[in-house]
Amino acid sequence: MVTLKHLAEQLNVSVSTVSKALHDSDEISPDTIERVKALAKFLNYKPNQLAVSLKNSKTNTIGVIIPNILNHFFAKALFAIEQEANKQGYNIITCLSNELYAKEVNSLQLLSNGSVDGFIMSIAEETQISNNLDHIEAILKQHVPIVLFDRVSEKITTDKVIIDDFDAAYQATNHLLSEGRKHIVLISNIDELSVGKLRTNGYHEALKEAKNYDSEPLVIAIKRDGSIEAEIEKLFKDHAAIDGIIAIDNTSGVVALHKALKLNYKVPEDLSIIGFSDENVLQFTDPKLSTISQHTIDVGKASVELLINRLQNKSETSTEIKTIKAQLQLRGTTK
Amino acid sequence: MVTLKHLAEQLNVSVSTVSKALHDSDEISPDTIERVKALAKFLNYKPNQLAVSLKNSKTNTIGVIIPNILNHFFAKALFAIEQEANKQGYNIITCLSNELYAKEVNSLQLLSNGSVDGFIMSIAEETQISNNLDHIEAILKQHVPIVLFDRVSEKITTDKVIIDDFDAAYQATNHLLSEGRKHIVLISNIDELSVGKLRTNGYHEALKEAKNYDSEPLVIAIKRDGSIEAEIEKLFKDHAAIDGIIAIDNTSGVVALHKALKLNYKVPEDLSIIGFSDENVLQFTDPKLSTISQHTIDVGKASVELLINRLQNKSETSTEIKTIKAQLQLRGTTK
DNA sequence: CTGAAAGCGCTAACAC
DNA sequence: GTGTTAGCGCTTTCAG
């Protein structure tokens, strides 16, 4: 590894001269600067980031903790975070909690002592269920900033980026009501998550406010390990009169559509379906699924902005909660 | 941040005593060890990894460069790499090249000077097209080990983990031949990639060896930005006699199945389809897609093993190429 | 059993 | 315009 010292020796100058020269200090003669830079380039010198970070107590890297990278929403969020961070001159260290409390604790602990300047994270399912957030509080107390996105908690006071989940489901439900649907069911396999609860509440609220809607709300909660397909088949068997479906997780809307078509429901004539999905599933459906689009890229971008802001304005200003509007995208599975 | 120095001051001992005590050195009295550890725990001391790494010239972190995190194959590979690395006591820094040469160069440069002990990477599309691999050679020359997985190059001599792409496609094609198919087409949107070429070759070879197969090979190469759906619709229109499809990328098999069913092909009676997909798409298809399964978890795991091996046996043994067998999973879209 | 000192690679205040 | 020095937090050799 080429170091400042090597360059200094080769050039018969001191290490500090080399360092200054490489930073274009005006303490150094143009001539020397040029010689230093030439040799640095020739030897392909790259500063050791570890040493720089140690010296500066600043790493220019962000720790990102993702609950489940196989979930397309999070993959896309990571994509956006990485992109924006890079643009702003930050690197990222990614940890995958795999929805486990223990891994989340571990990652936070491991990185919080100097390895990263701050965190962007979404809370693991296990953590949300237990609602034990002391590990996050602990990091915050050490003045390492954290931005929470999507899966957040009211127990924690910090910067957050959230989606207006309640409103998104509320609007979706209202849309189906406006189509004159009389039996609207909500399907969820994210029952335990904060976002799942909010979406479900939005659905309930819309139905409660509805005039002329006589059916009881019906929520199908699919267990994490359960088969979405089997549950949905059962749903159609038990409730043949269904004419509207809101699917609040990433995939069950697509599955519901396939099953419905298989059972010869006419979509959207007899039955409307709205999913909480990204465009990536559209190529797999016909008619194209109407969805609630989560603007995932914006979520990631906003998270990075919030964190870097906090990092740079050391000012202990009050925390910010940024809400990214979800958007109802009507396509082929709604009237 | 709590440092060794803090602990030392509080306890009226030297920094080196503290350091040794925390490492259970037998130079230190059991009594002191206990006192040190107690205080360390009380103050929630965590060693500064930057300092440790700088001192040891060893970071225990692996740089992972992923071409496209929105591709499920790579998301799963990352998942596996992270998991295995963690198990072995390594952290990962993830960089996303987004298929771009420049980003790949950048990530490699940035991390190669001390930030990571080695790399696990799959080559960006742009890099594979240009076939300019000097940046990778350069890192290798600095004795920073690299493991290449999936998208590799023969120009580079280093440890590699590959899938037997040729053989997988060869077998798949032979299976369709054994069903008596007479018009087998190959669909690809990864024409430019090493793996795409290998799979296509396997298809060609199988057809060449086949007796009683009279049709010409037919390869539909979908441009990166092209619409898979439109291309496949066109395929069915232009070649109604098709009775076998091999789709060599992650998604086009699913799309082909949907379009075929829509056009009232009987699958698998009139038409067999084999995709190169993971189980994650199965819930979207009926009948279930027959696939070539890539054992992505094994690919990730093997990559980590190879790298750590290289890291620990500094011995300059010859490089290793590990082939992970792909597996033909016959389900509902083949006879 | 404990401590002093050097050094990993870098930056920056302070000489000269 | 250039060099000396100290120090970031840690480990480790060597003295005591």
| Judgement on whether residues B203 and B319 belong to the same structural domain of the protein | no
pLDDT tens digits, A79-104 = 999 999 999 999 999 999 999 999 99
From the list B91, B115, B255, the residue facing A49 with the nearest CB is B115
Do B150 and B216 have their domain in common?
A: no
pLDDT at residue B44 greater than cutoff 70: yes
What mean pLDDT do residues A75-81 have? 97
Closest-approach residue (CA) in chain A for B83 = A96
Chain B positions touching A46 (Cβ under 8 A) are 109-110, 112-113
DSSP state of A95: E
Please give the backbone phi and psi of residue B277, each rounded to the nearest 5 degrees, phi first: -135, 170
| B40 and B77 belong to one structural domain | no
B13 lies in a domain? yes
Instruction: Evaluate whether residue A54 is within a structural domain.
Output: no
Beta-bridge mates of residue B321: B160
Q: Is the pLDDT of residue A77 over 90?
A: yes
Taking residues B73-98, what's their average pLDDT?
95
| Residues B290, B170 within the same domain | yes
- Check residue A226 and give its pLDDT: 78
On chain B, the residues whose CB falls within 8 A of the CB of A78 are 69, 94, 96
Partner-chain contact A114 B72, CB within 8 Å: no
A185 in a structural domain: yes
The number of C-alpha atoms within 13 Å of A61 and in the hemisphere containing its C-beta is 28
**Has residue B317 got a pLDDT over 90?**
no
Closest residue to A286, CB basis, from B47, B82, B258: B258
What pLDDT, in 10s, does the model give residues A152-180? Answer: 999 999 999 999 999 999 999 999 999 99
Footprint of strand C on the protein (CB under 7 A): A 1, 3-5, 15-16, 19-20, 22-23, 27, 47-48, 51-52, 54-56; B 12-17, 20, 25-32, 51, 54-55, 57, 114
pLDDT per position as a tens digit, A14-62: 999 999 999 999 999 999 999 999 999 999 999 999 999 999 999 999 9
Instruction: Decide: A150 and A123 in contact? Cβ < 8 Å.
Output: no
Q: Are A40 and A102 in the same domain?
A: no
> Does residue B174 sit in the same domain as residue B287?
yes
Dihedral angle sign, alpha carbons of residues B129, B160, B98, B219: positive
- Classify residue B52: in a domain, yes or no: no
Q: Are A67 and A85 found together in one domain?
A: yes
A244-258, A307-321, B64-78, range with the lowest pLDDT: A307-321
Across the range A187-210, mean pLDDT stands at 94
Burial (CB count within 10 angstroms: exposed 0-12, middle 13-18, buried 19+), residue B181:
buried
Query: What range defines the domain where residue B228 resides?
Result: 165-294
The answer to whether position A52 is within a domain reads: no
Over residues A262-278, mean pLDDT: 94
**How large is the average pLDDT for residues B93-114?**
93
User: Same domain, yes or no, for A93 and A214?
Assistant: no
Q: How close, in Å, is residue B282 to chain A by CA atoms? A: 10
The total domain count for chain A is 3
Measured between CB atoms, which of A54, A95, A255 is closest to B50?
A54
Name the residue closest to C2, CA to C1'.
Answer: B17
Distance B29 CA to C3 C1' (A): 14
Could you tell me if A228 and A300 lie in one domain?
no
In a domain, B276, yes or no: yes
Q: What's the maximum distance between 2 C-alpha atoms anywhere in chain A?
A: 89
Of A91, A109, A258, the CB nearest to B46: A109
- Tell if the CB–CB gap between A113 and B255 is shorter than 8 Å: no
Q: List, in sequence order, the alpha helices (H) in chain B.
A: 4-11, 15-22, 30-42, 49-56, 72-87, 101-112, 125-130, 134-141, 165-178, 194-209, 228-238, 252-262, 296-312
Stated length of chain A:
335
Does the distance separating the beta carbons of B284 and A254 come in below 8 Å? yes
For residue B243, tell me if it sits in a domain: yes
The CATH number covering residue B213 comes to 3.40.50.2300
User: Distance from A212 to chain B by nearest Cα, in Å?
Assistant: 35
Residues B12 and B43 in one domain: yes
CA of residue B271 to C1' of nucleotide D16, angstroms: 86
Q: Which of B224, B143, B233, B150 is nearest to B190 (CA)?
A: B224
Is residue A22 situated within a structural domain? Answer: yes
Are residues A283 and B251, on separate chains, in Cβ contact within 8 Å? yes
| Percent of chain A whose pLDDT exceeds 90 | 90
Same domain, B186 and B248: yes
A125, A232: one domain: no
